[in-house]
Amino acid sequence: MSRATKKILSYYAGENPGVLANLYRFLETGRLKGTGKLVILPVDQGFEHGPARSFAPNPDGYDPEYHYKLALRAGCNGYAAPLGQLQVGAAEYAGQIPLILKLNNSDSMYGGSDPCPAVTGSVGDALRLGASAIGFTIYPGSAARNEMYEEIRELSEEARAVGIATVIWSYPRGSGISKDGETAIDIVAYAAQVAAQLGAHIIKVKPPTAHIEQDAARKVYEKHGIPIATLADRIRHVVQSAFGGKRIVIFSGGAAKGEEGVLDEIRGIKEGGGFGSIIGRNSFQRPLDDAVALLRKVQDIYAS
């Protein structure tokens, strides 16, 4: 076991051996193994945004096996997807890469302001597919947030009982906050804290902006001089907000953008002490060779 992996696992000393073994698998898989950094491929966008919006830029992506191949060739630490997508290829690629079964999802055909995803998979499905973790999205700021909090409490308890780790996508959204507030520094840090309090082993949030949403929070940020001017400053604060850096916090790749835009963001995350990235559209919407090359450049930044 590498020194970095050993240190991170020490943060989870209260967990059972099965959960620790699955966290170890993520940390010791792929090109970043042993560095304490993670680059994970998530492909839930077909469910969340629709097939054309997700896969038309690179039609190979309509085939779920493409994403297994991409994650493996690029040397990712893991691959996350909903039940149907993960089932296609789970047998052929069994044991070759840690899997995260996304247990709740929603579509974009209903335009309500307060999202509440449906539970679309089970811990039993995760066991059957050989997954190392379950994934679950919460939407702090939604009127339905308490329902999501209760659902993940029950699912993570069930997952722990069989040694499976929990990954929480903590995405502030809903009538309780503005559009700018979804990525505001105070809100993203708060979202990371909520996910940690809900028992997440790995927390996924969006890279935060310098906007401050809540007036009460703004007074504290100003009074205590919390640095938020640069992306690295903001990443550092978000990681600090997840139990003083004792929970793995990784950052989404966000909307599709050019290669330099992706890499500049990764440099900021790395400088701020982020544990890594979970990059979907910015990778799988490119041809396989280009996608592999981009993910390896990302990994090289984290490994440097």
| E strands, 103-247, in order | 104-105, 118-119, 133-138, 165-170, 202-205
Alpha-carbon span 110 to 83, nearest angstrom: 21
DSSP state of 37: -
Instruction: Encode 27-62 in three state secondary structure.
Output: HCCCCCCCCCCEEEEECCHHHHHCHHHHHCCCHHHH
* Residue whose tokens read 């069994």: 94
Catalytic member of 204, 257, 270, 297: 204
Phi, psi torsion values for 276, nearest 5 degrees: 150, -165
Mark whether 204 is an active-site residue.
yes
State the helix-helix crossing angle for 231-241 and 259-271, rounded to 10 degrees.
50
The letter for the amino acid at 106 is: S
Kindly tell me the burial class for residue 175, based on how many C-beta atoms sit within 10 Å of its own C-beta (0-12, 13-18, 19 or more).
Answer: exposed
Alpha-carbon span 26 to 22, nearest angstrom: 7
Alpha-carbon span 81 to 36, nearest angstrom: 23
Report yes or no: 177 and 187 within 8 Å, Cβ to Cβ.
yes
What Cα–Cα distance (Å) separates residue 102 from each residue in 44, 247, 253?
Answer: 8, 20, 17
Alpha-carbon span 125 to 301, nearest angstrom: 35
Phi, psi torsion values for 120, nearest 5 degrees: -120, 5
The letter for the amino acid at 279 is: I
The residues carrying an active-site annotation are 204
